[in-house]
Amino acid sequence: MPRPARDVGASPFIKWVGGKRSLLEQLRPHLPPTYGRLFEPFVGGGALFFDQRPKRATLGDNNARLIATYRGLRDATDEVIRLLKSYRYDRDDFLAMRARAIDAESDPAIAAWFIYLNKTGYNGLYRVNSRNGFNVPFGSYKNPAICDEPTLRACAAALRRTDLVAGDFELVTRKARKGDLVYFDPPYVPLSATSSFTGYTADGFDSHDQLRLRDAARALAARGVHVLLSNSSAPAVVNLYREEFDIVQLRARRSINSNIEGRSAIVELLMKSRTF
């Protein structure tokens, strides 16, 4: 018997660089057994949120089109699905869609635009030029699922009671209270960054932003908010967090050139506030 849509597990409805899907098993044991509201200020594809489906959550990202996509899916699910069903996997259609001036349109139109480009563009990448024009090339797929209706409906149901905020992480976490959980998953410090740690920018997030993030995490923990924060294993990250956070190593993925014993897993770090 087919399962009703609400029973389909929610998992991210978009591919997202840096998505945490493959790390969920290692992340789950570090969540506090109970918490109030979940805040995810760098939500991206929302792997942890869709895995946990908490009763109350605030999701944010400074990619305004991504947040409009979440809003469109939450508030106008049928319309988003109707639009996606009308779109075809075709190079000319893709190029026309890519060129649309999407920001003036409604949330469901932005959502369908965003999801279509994510499913049909090269590697599911999101990349824009200096005028915020989407510029990822057409992707080569056998039969991309432009409209995965069960997943979209399950995600819409999970989003129903969420607050969605387009903006910087500091804005998103402003209302976090004692006993809430904040999971920060920022653009990572490059592994090549030196421990002096200045003068680089990855995804528009520079060393000043990493410091600002550390200070925000510290302030939240000081008021009793549980904080979990992912980052790379660059020495700069250890320097930033070692005094006030517990640092756990997670095995991110095996490198392609793993040695014969298969031990060359890439390590990344999970910082935990001492509030748990």
Sites of contact with ligand SAM (CB under 6 A): 16, 18-20, 41-42, 44-47, 61-63, 168-169, 185-187, 203, 205, 209
Q: Retrieve residue 264's tokens.
A: 């060359």
State which residue, 78 or 203, has the beta carbon closest to ligand SAM: 203
Q: How far is the CB of 199 from ligand SAM (least distance, A)?
A: 18
Q: Which of 56, 52, 8, 64 is nearest to 160 (CA)?
A: 56
Q: How far is the CB of 201 from ligand SAM (least distance, A)?
A: 11
In which region does residue 233 sit, left (phi positive, over 0), alpha (psi from -120 to 50) or beta (all else)? Answer: alpha
Question: Phi and psi for 116 in degrees, rounded to 5?
Answer: -60, -50
Q: Which of 226, 227, 190, 225 is nearest to 210 (CA)?
A: 190
Q: In angstroms, rounded to a whole number, what is the distance separating the alpha carbons of residues 230 and 56?
A: 22
Q: How far is the CB of 265 from ligand SAM (least distance, A)?
A: 19
CB atoms closer than 10 angstroms to residue 255: 10
Q: How far is the CB of 163 from ligand SAM (least distance, A)?
A: 15
**Half-sphere exposure at residue 182, Cβ-oriented, CA atoms within 13 angstroms:** 33
CB 59 within 8 A of CB 163: yes
State which residue, 90 or 215, has the beta carbon closest to ligand SAM: 215
State which residue, 68 or 87, has the beta carbon closest to ligand SAM: 68
State which residue, 63 or 106, has the beta carbon closest to ligand SAM: 63
State which residue, 83 or 172, has the beta carbon closest to ligand SAM: 172
Q: How far is the CB of 93 from ligand SAM (least distance, A)?
A: 26
